[in-house]
Amino acid sequence: MTATELLIEVAGWSGALLILAAYLLLSLGRVSGQSASYQWMNVAGASGFVVNGWWHGAIPSATLNVIWLAIGAVALWRIDRRKRTPEPRPAAD
C-alpha cells in the first residue's frame, strides 16, 4: 500500500468515525442538531467519505457525501449568521 492509498483509507475511516460519533452524540442528547460541533463533525466526516469514495470510484457514495457536506455547510452558515445577528429587543411599554 502506498502512502497515498493509506491516506485515502485513513480519510474514509476517519470520516466514518466522525459521522457515527456525531450521530451517537445527537442520539444521546449530548449535542443538538443545531450545534456547530455536530455540523462540523458531519462536514469533516463527509469530506473524508468524498475523498475515499472518489478514489475508489464509488461515485454514488461520493455524490451523496458532497450533498451531506453541503447541507452541513449551509447549517454552519446559518448558525454563524444567527450568532452575528443581534436578538430583537422587546418593545418598551
Mind listing the pLDDT tens digit for each residue in 12-70?
999 999 999 999 999 999 999 999 999 999 999 999 999 999 999 999 999 999 999 99
Q: If 0-12 CB within 10 Å is exposed, 13-18 middle and 19+ buried, where does residue 15 land? A: buried
pTM above 0.95, yes or no: no
